[in-house]
Amino acid sequence: MSTTTSPSAASARLDELRTLVQRVWGYSELRPLQAEAMAAAVEGRDALVVLATGAGKSLCYQAPALLRSGLTVVLSPLISLMQDQIAGLVESGVDAAMLSSAQDGYEKSKVYEMLRGGDLKLLFVAPERFATPGFLGELVAFGLSTLVVDEAHCISHWGHDFRPEYRRIGELRRNHPSIPIQAFTATATPEVRADVVRQLGLREPVLLVGSFDRPNLGYRFLPRSDAAQQTLEVIRRHPREAGIVYCLRRADVDELARELACAGVRCQPYHAGLEAATRERNQDQFLAEDIEVIVATVAFGMGIDRPDVRFVVHAAMPKGVEQFAQETGRAGRDGLASECVMLYSGADFHGWRLLQERSHAEAAAAGVTIDPLEAERSLARLSEMYGFATSAVCRHKFLVQHFGQAWESCEPCGACDVCLGELEAHADSVRAAQMILSCVVRCEQRYGASHIADVLRGADTERVRTAGHAALSTFGLMRDQHPREIRHWIEQLVGLEHLRVAPGRYPTLSLTHSGVEVMKARHAITLYRLPVAPKAKRGASRGVASDLVFDAALFERLRALRRRLAAERGVPPYIVFGDRTLQELAAAKPLNVEGLRGIRGIGESKLRDFGAAFVAEIAAHAER
């Protein structure tokens, strides 16, 4: 049973923790809020820790668990992530185990043996196991001293991933009030946060909320012209590097995967329509670095912890800013510079809306009552995403503000297309906007974007002839512009909510109140030209240690060695060493095992197990 520790004893323990982190994990420093979270742990206090993906939540509970007497139980919803964490801990010389209903009797009995022997400091538990009657009592009997709730938003209806089993935690709190509970999540909305505290019954919790910005991600939004070609351009900026390409529909996944494979990309598809065995094989190939790229629907990624994903491409716009943040969040978990590219089009906006309307209609036909407010909210989220896509504010700033945090900097962020100056403002935005808006009015607000663009460029189409629109004063006003550029501007006007797209089958355009103001030149506006090829070659990033100069050929050699060692041990390569560790090795080129000390990510256990092999590889490279 844990009791609260005095402040001076706690500070001595924190020093002990730092030494432990250096010895076991090979990290010489703690990241922001890790020390605070660990302090709460050693003081035996309840805590809610909200940190962005990749910020280093697991260390916050793993390290204190090793120092604490008794057993730390980590409740976590995804078996694959638990397996990864355990594999990583075992490679670092730490005993950890898991209990889930997917295990056979033999595996379970081995874990129980360890528990009875008191050999285990860290036990990971899957939700359904946690909710089995009598299980809580067993944990307490095995000396449970702290409960860690990972992905704590799963306890909240407000979160995106509600797990009813998480509600059993309340029982533990009632029956064993002295056992501290520490909750971790990357989901940050205030409702979820408050709900987690309430549902878990946290008492005066230490609340730690980190920055939601992901400075190592570079964002770039491009109007979609040719998804395969544009995706290939991104892939070619990242030779031999891992990436995920997200599509809306399964058919799009299959087609794009085929096209990329024809272009020589080592990739596989992933979606719910594939057989489970195929899906699993493709995912394993990705984790084992046998392929570089996975083309997927959003079904892919929940259980994926590959930390060196260097790019995420959205071949179509996601249906909300939250989804965008979550999916792009799978890039660069190791903190190294990574690129996120979204291809979007007004067709995505319309396509999502049709899907939404259809699913609501189907639900209604099936007698399910849908909250009309919910339908409205999902439409609002879609509009917000579209506005984000077509607007030209710093992408980092927009995201941070979207999640309710202040953006302090006035400087360009240096890691998005807007701040890198890749978007070029149209020199005569006001006039272009006026032409488009008045064309919509002249067409009596009864036509969609493609017809409006046809009229503006003076096209001789069937519909123009039937409607007699060649006689309009706006006919041919934009004769000199590229049709794609006109469409791009119309989309920006929709994104800025100066134009409204009618719901239903005919997406006709009409002016909003602000649209009228813009048409009358009473409202400032900037429109952007179609982006040209990115100036910065790769995903630029802000303030991350990506400026390390290392021997790229040696880095590739070390990656190959890492892959071989991992295959021998039956673990994914990133469990052996992260990219950052290999980069530091390829920079420092140590020629003896002692020289590996101080390299980030090399603790005692890995030094012993892998040190000699890596030093030999570095020496062989030097002789070459």
Q: Which residues of this protein are in contact with ligand ADP, per CB under 6 A?
A: 27, 29-31, 34, 51, 53-59, 307, 333-335, 578, 600
Min dist. Cβ of residue 309 to ligand ADP (A): 12
Beta carbon nearer to ligand ADP, 330 or 350? 330
**What residues pair up with 242 in beta bridges, in sequence order?**
309
Q: Are strands 122-125 and 338-344 parallel, antiparallel or unpaired?
A: unpaired
Select the binding partner of residue 419 from Zn ion, ligand ADP, none (C-beta < 5 to 8 A, by kind). Zn ion
Beta carbon nearer to Zn ion, 164 or 421? 421
- Kindly indicate which of the ranges 8-16, 306-314, 393-401, 493-501 contains the residues binding Zn ion, using the contact rule CB under 5 A: 393-401
Beta carbon nearer to Zn ion, 321 or 571? 321
Select the binding partner of residue 59 from Zn ion, ligand ADP, none (C-beta < 5 to 8 A, by kind). ligand ADP
Beta carbon nearer to Zn ion, 420 or 455? 420
Residue nearest to ligand ADP (CB): 56
Q: State yes or no: residue 416 binds Zn ion (CB under 5 A).
A: yes
The secondary structure of residue 164, as a DSSP letter, is: G
- SS3 (DSSP) at 517: helix
Select the binding partner of residue 416 from ligand ADP, Zn ion, none (C-beta < 5 to 8 A, by kind). Zn ion
Min dist. Cβ of residue 341 to ligand ADP (A): 22
- Kindly indicate which of the ranges 244-252, 413-421, 505-513, 544-552 contains the residues binding Zn ion, using the contact rule CB under 5 A: 413-421
Min dist. Cβ of residue 196 to ligand ADP (A): 16
Min dist. Cβ of residue 568 to ligand ADP (A): 22
Beta carbon nearer to Zn ion, 77 or 218? 218
Select the binding partner of residue 13 from Zn ion, ligand ADP, none (C-beta < 5 to 8 A, by kind). none
Q: Are strands 499-501 and 338-344 parallel, antiparallel or unpaired?
A: unpaired
Beta carbon nearer to ligand ADP, 88 or 243? 88
Min dist. Cβ of residue 52 to ligand ADP (A): 7
Transcribe 418-459 into DSSP letters.
TTTT-S-B-TTHHHHHHHHHHHHHHTTT---HHHHHHHHTT-
Min dist. Cβ of residue 538 to Zn ion (A): 16
Q: Would you state the structure tokens that stand for residue 250, as one six-digit string?
A: 């399964």
How many CA atoms are closer than 13 Å to the CA of 547, on its beta-carbon side?
4
C-alpha span between 402 and 212 (Å, rounded): 10
Q: State yes or no: residue 155 binds Zn ion (CB under 5 A).
A: no
Beta carbon nearer to ligand ADP, 37 or 432? 37
Per the CB < 8 A criterion, the answer to whether 241 and 318 are in contact is no
Q: State yes or no: residue 490 binds Zn ion (CB under 5 A).
A: no
C-alpha span between 17 and 93 (Å, rounded): 16
* 243-302 positions binding Zn ion, by CB under 5 A: none
Q: State yes or no: residue 413 binds Zn ion (CB under 5 A).
A: yes
Contacts of 96 (CB under 8 A, 6+ apart): 85, 86, 89, 90, 120, 121, 122, 123, 124
SS3 labels along 19-45: HHHHHHHCCCCCCCCHHHHHHHHHCCC
Beta carbon nearer to ligand ADP, 32 or 177? 32
Q: Would you state the structure tokens that stand for residue 91, as one six-digit string?
A: 């490679």
- Kindly indicate which of the ranges 86-94, 132-140, 300-308, 416-424 contains the residues binding Zn ion, using the contact rule CB under 5 A: 416-424
Among 144, 394, 437, 566, binds Zn ion (CB under 5 A): 394
Contacts of 34 (CB under 8 A, 6+ apart): 56, 59, 60
Task: Pick the closest to residue 613 from 537, 560, 574 (CA basis).
Answer: 560
Q: State yes or no: residue 554 binds Zn ion (CB under 5 A).
A: no
Contacts of 89 (CB under 8 A, 6+ apart): 62, 95, 96, 122
Contacts of 496 (CB under 8 A, 6+ apart): 387, 390, 391, 514, 525
Beta carbon nearer to Zn ion, 172 or 389? 389
Beta carbon nearer to ligand ADP, 58 or 429? 58
Select the binding partner of residue 30 from Zn ion, ligand ADP, none (C-beta < 5 to 8 A, by kind). ligand ADP
Min dist. Cβ of residue 21 to ligand ADP (A): 7
Reduced to 3 DSSP states, what percent helix, strand and coil does the chain have, rounded to the nearest 5? 50, 10, 40
Binding mask 342-381 toward Zn ion (x if CB under 5 A, else -) reads ----------------------------------------
Select the binding partner of residue 394 from Zn ion, ligand ADP, none (C-beta < 5 to 8 A, by kind). Zn ion
Q: Would you state the structure tokens that stand for residue 83, as one six-digit string?
A: 């397996």
Min dist. Cβ of residue 44 to ligand ADP (A): 22
Count of positions on this chain that bind Zn ion (CB under 5 A): 5
- SS3 (DSSP) at 357: helix
Task: For residue 206, count CB atoms less than 10 angstroms from its CB and return exposed for 0-12, middle for 13-18, buried for 19 or more.
Answer: middle
Binding mask 417-456 toward Zn ion (x if CB under 5 A, else -) reads --x-------------------------------------
**What residues pair up with 416 in beta bridges, in sequence order?**
219
Q: Would you state the structure tokens that stand for residue 451, as one six-digit string?
A: 């017809």
List interacting residues with Zn ion (CB under 5 A): 394, 396, 413, 416, 419
